[in-house]
Amino acid sequence: MAPIRVGIIGLSADQSAWATSAHTAPLKSAPLNEKFKLVAVGTSSPETATKAAAAHGVEADKAYSSPEAIAGDEDVDLVVVSVKTPYHKQLALPALHAKKSVFIEWPLGNGLQEAEELAALAKKQGVKTAVGLQARFLPSVQKAKSIIDSGALGRIVGTTVISSSSFALNITVKNSYINDPKSGANLVTIPTIHALDPLCYLLGEYKFLNATIATTFPEIRFIQADGSRGEPVKSNFADFISIQGVLESGATASFVSSSTTEFTPAHFEWIISGEEGSLKFEGPSQFIAMAPHTLSRFAPSKQEGKGDEDQGGYGAKVGGKWEEVEVEKGPFGGIGEVYAAFAEGNKDLVDFDEAVKRHKMVEAIFRSAKDGTRESY
């Protein structure tokens, strides 16, 4: 079977850039290199496009500086949009009009309206789509899914996510656009949804939620290219997010992400509690698709001589410990898992329609926080 021919918009010559490490690295590694072939690049100018093509082994005549040009290339099957959120729609539209398959980083669009427009056009054109919500395909999440689906944990009664990080105080000037409320990129739309998508994938959607958001640090100083700190500027985004609710299954769900200084160590803990067992994800960041983490299963020890053998999970327990679950290392890493799912036609792939659901979740979170209301989506 011929490989899927890929054109990436936003791929630069910088080998340390996100598009290079997240996209081209897995695409050029086995076994994805047998399923995909990078054939075109797109940047904002002819000069940078030419440099990017040379850096990634792409023919010079496949270096494009407009979305219309790369969309019009008959040798491109899949157009990937890997740029800042405000530009997703305008760069993806030509590819959709040309009936190309399209893969866009999360968020799909700058707000729900743009996401719905993109999803509607993709459906009208009958094209295959994908969105970069990759955490659900991590080997650890897939392992947790197999344990939960086997019934080994019994009925899931609740889940709790607690995260703390100094990320909000260490934003580079390159990413300072997230301080623009109109950019569509903030700590709710990006890190929060990257954490909640695998939660909902494993346990189901929220039936309703209540959210609280706040700005803990009213001023921030962006990190400059030389490592120094810029002058203080007003922070325009929420850096504390709390979402409490009940899932459609009836299980409770609690998510709290707080911003701290570096005097509080960064930490991420996600516990899934069942009547007969529990699982725990743990690591330094809620971006589990990008940070090392572990998956553990709690092994309780019964109190002897209490006659609670027939009481199941409600019997008296003492002690016990978390035991790490052996998880195979993923062959692709993060975004690579999305490409694999795309090639295989995996039904769990987040397409544009599924991404619209996540955008509706974002809207519900902001409505609840603003109005103090219980919301659904």
Return d(Cα 275, Cα 153) in angstroms, integer: 6
- Please, which pLDDT band fits residue 48 given cuts at 50, 70 and 90? very high
| Burial of 136 per CB tally in 10 Å (0-12, 13-18, 19+) | buried
pLDDT in tens, 181-231: 999 999 999 999 999 999 999 999 999 999 999 999 999 999 999 999 999
Picking from 161-170, 330-339, 368-377, which range would have the lowest pLDDT averaged per residue? 330-339
Lowest mean pLDDT among 29-38, 39-48, 103-112, 300-309: 300-309
Cβ of 351: how many Cβ atoms within 10 Å?
A: 19
Residues of the chain with pLDDT > 90: what percent?
A: 90
Confidence of residue 311 (pLDDT cuts 50, 70, 90): low
Cα separation, 80 vs 10, in Å, equals: 8
- Give the C-alpha separation, 158 to 335, whole Å: 29
Q: Would you say residue 306 has pLDDT above 70? A: no
CA–CA distance, 279 with 156 (Å, rounded to integer): 11
In the predicted model, what is the mean pLDDT of residues 256-269? 96
What is the pLDDT of the chain when averaged over all its residues? 95
Are the C-beta atoms of residues 321 and 299 closer than 8 Å to each other? yes
277-283 vs 294-302, strand pairing mode:
antiparallel
Q: What are the two backbone dihedrals, phi and then psi, of residue 129, each rounded to the nearest 5 degrees?
A: -130, 160
To the nearest 10 degrees (0 to 180), the angle between helices 352-371 and 112-125 is 160
| Average pLDDT rounded to a whole number, residues 313-334 | 79
Which tens digit of pLDDT belongs to each residue from 1-24?
899 999 999 999 999 899 999 999
Q: How far apart are CA 228 and CA 343, in angstroms?
A: 43
Cβ atoms 279, 271 nearer than 8 A: yes
Give the model's confidence band at 289: pLDDT under 50 very low, under 70 low, under 90 confident, else very high.
confident
Tokens standing for residue 198: 């695998």
Is the preceding peptide bond at 31 cis, omega within 30 degrees of 0? Answer: yes
User: What pLDDT, on a 0 to 100 scale, did the predictor assign at position 305?
Assistant: 47
Give me 148's structure tokens: 């939960």
